[in-house]
Amino acid sequence: MKPLFNRGRIPETSLLALLFFLASVPVVAQDPVKQDTFDITIPSMRFPHQYTKWGFQIGAGFEMVKPPKDLLENAIQAPLVNIHMTFGLPWKISLEGDVSTILVSNQITLGPRIGYGYKNFYFNAGYDLAFVYGQLKQGGFNNSAVIWLNYPNLSLGYKLKKMAFTLKGEIVYVTSVKQKTDEIILSTTKNFYNGFTVAFYLEQRLWKNHVFIFGIKDNYEKYYWPTWMLFSTFDRYYHIPELSFMWIL
């Protein structure tokens, strides 16, 4: 009498049924893990990279300024609201604009940049023209100032994937300063070397493509535009530090 099943051997009908069952089970594919392709070069602003042709960026923040004690009776900290913009052009050229204001003192700058990069190092050279207007009404006087400044500048930067470091230097040259009260011109000065500035900027990714900028700057100048209303007669240079904070929008 033959056994119902042969030991060690699967019937052909059972094998076909098993293969059919396995083929009918849906295969659930796992979603591939998305790679983080973020590169600080693209969303950064102070870093001297080569901006995308016709690309536009804008950042907003504020600057804390501390004039020296011998320039003011009591040293103060005055926050300046700052808006910075960049616009990419062909041939590795970009255009940068900047607006800084504390209401009684306002500066608008505009100038081109040309840059070059090699691996993680980037460099650019630029030239900014600045217009300053200030007005202060106090004690029955209507004091105002119109100032034109020039800022030839160089920037050197180094980047990691999510961080960028930039060192920037400027020479400050004054084209003209005109100060008056009401319609009476108090002083007019033209064409003089005003000093230089050195700044360090750190740009850090916060989340997604949002970048925060921290900067520290030393202004070594005779005539510091936010303090035009002091009408200083001191012929000397001052170290005037700035701290800046900015979010790229």
The three-state (H, E, C) secondary structure of 53-67, written as one string: CCCEEEEEEEEEECC
Residue type at 96 in one-letter notation:
E
Task: Please tell me the predicted confidence (pLDDT) of residue 144.
Answer: 87
Is a pLDDT exceeding 60 seen at residue 179? Answer: yes
Kindly report, residue by residue over 9-52, the tens digit of the pLDDT: 555 566 566 656 656 655 555 556 567 678 888 889 999 987 88
Task: Please tell me the predicted confidence (pLDDT) of residue 61.
Answer: 95
Of the pLDDT bands very low, low, confident and very high (cuts 50, 70, 90), residue 135 is confident
Classified as helix, coil or strand, 127 is strand
Token pair, residue 13, equals: 């009908």
Can you tell me the distance from the alpha carbon of 209 to that of 206, in angstroms, rounded to the nearest whole number? Answer: 8
Kindly report, residue by residue over 156-173, the tens digit of the pLDDT: 999 998 999 999 999 999
Task: Please tell me the predicted confidence (pLDDT) of residue 75.
Answer: 45
Q: Which of 60-64, 139-143, 224-228 has the lowest mean pLDDT?
A: 139-143
Compute the average pLDDT of residues 216-230: 87
What does pTM read for this prediction? 0.80
Q: List the domain boundaries for the chain.
A: 56-248
Compute the average pLDDT of residues 39-66: 88
Kindly report, residue by residue over 77-126, the tens digit of the pLDDT: 568 999 999 999 998 899 999 999 988 889 999 999 998 988 899 999 99
Residues 247 and 60: beta-carbon distance below 8 Å: yes
* CATH classification (class only), 56-248: mainly beta
Task: Please tell me the predicted confidence (pLDDT) of residue 136.
Answer: 83
| Mean pLDDT of all residues belonging to the chain | 83
The closest of 192, 196, 190 to 237, measured between CA atoms, is 196
Can you tell me the distance from the alpha carbon of 165 to that of 82, in angstroms, rounded to the nearest whole number? Answer: 20
> What proportion of the chain, given as a percentage, has pLDDT over 70?
79
Task: Please tell me the predicted confidence (pLDDT) of residue 87.
Answer: 94
